[in-house]
Chains A and B, each alone.
Chain A
Amino acid sequence: DAGITQSPRHKVTETGTPVTLRCHQTENHRYMYWYRQDPGHGLRLIHYSYGVKDTDKGEVSDGYSVSRSKTEDFLLTLESATSSQTSVYFCAISEGPNEQFFGPGTRLTVL
């Protein structure tokens, strides 16, 4: 399995609070991604990174920001969590245009 960890694995928070999710890889892959998974929607891309300090928006980026200060870490921040951001969040990595490898996911509940 690709060396991808996500933390925390589960989190419950309240509306309006900031939340940061962490993705850590040991594969030294260039590309990292954040997705959210909701029933009936498959996975939708939030943000991605193509190198240290290089990031871009995906299809559902509103309300989310990301940072990548090291190759191995990609952080996803919800500046002010809302109930619509209750979801399962997956990190993925890839090296170039090949397949992406996924982490175990973080289940976030916003009350």
Chain B
Amino acid sequence: AQSVTQPDIHITVSEGASLELRCNYSYGATPYLFWYVQSPGQGLQLLLKYFSGDTLVQGIKGFEAEFKRSQSSFNLRKPSVHWSDAAEYFCAAKAAGNKLTFGGGTRVLVKP
């Protein structure tokens, strides 16, 4: 069955430090890949997406993600975290058709 796994439920990071969120997918072929962010009480906002081509993808708010086919991973990174980055982050994947499959989410806490 197709699935998306985010191994870390919570991550705490100090403001100014780097952040990496892990995402692994299990699909027969390389799916379309997405990262969304959800601030408390809000809907989901798309950070970035990967369809094909360059495996390093730039997104909004200073985020980037790297697709690694050999590891079935699509990890999200930010070099220097701001307090406003405290939120929940969701990795999602889509194969044929329009159905998105989400990971369970990673909640990021930012320490001052």
How long is the Cα–Cα vector from A102 to B34 in the complex, in angstroms? Answer: 13
Say whether A40 contacts B104, CB under 8 Å.
Answer: yes
Say whether B98 contacts A50, CB under 8 Å.
Answer: yes
How long is the Cα–Cα vector from A40 to B103 in the complex, in angstroms? Answer: 9
Task: Report the contact-size class of chain A (Cβ under 8 Å from the partner).
Answer: 20 to 34
Name the distance in Å between A75's Cβ and chain B's nearest Cβ.
18
Interface size on B, residues (CB 8 A): 22
Instruction: Check A90/B43 contact, CB under 8 A, given A48-B99, A99-B49.
Output: yes
Identify the closest chain A residue to B48 (Cβ): A99
User: Within 8 Å CB of A94, what residues of B?
Assistant: 98
Q: Which residues of B contact A (CB under 8 A)?
A: 4, 6, 9, 32, 34, 36, 42-46, 49, 90, 92, 94, 98-100, 102-105
Q: What is the number of contacts between chain A and chain B, taking CB atoms within 8 Å? A: 49
Instruction: Check A42/B34 contact, CB under 8 A, given A99-B49, A103-B43, A104-B42.
Output: no
| Known A42-B105, A43-B92, A99-B49; 14 more pairs at CB < 8 Å | A33-B98, A40-B9, A40-B104, A42-B4, A42-B90, A42-B104, A43-B44, A44-B102, A45-B100, A90-B44, A99-B34, A99-B46, A102-B36, A105-B43
Name the distance in Å between B47's Cβ and chain A's nearest Cβ.
10
Name the distance in Å between A94's Cβ and chain B's nearest Cβ.
6
Say whether B98 contacts A43, CB under 8 Å.
Answer: no
Instruction: Check A97/B99 contact, CB under 8 A, given A40-B104, A41-B104, A103-B43.
Output: no
Scan A24-60; emit 1 where CB is below 8 A from any B CB, else 0.
0000000101000000111111001010000000100
Say whether B104 contacts A45, CB under 8 Å.
Answer: no
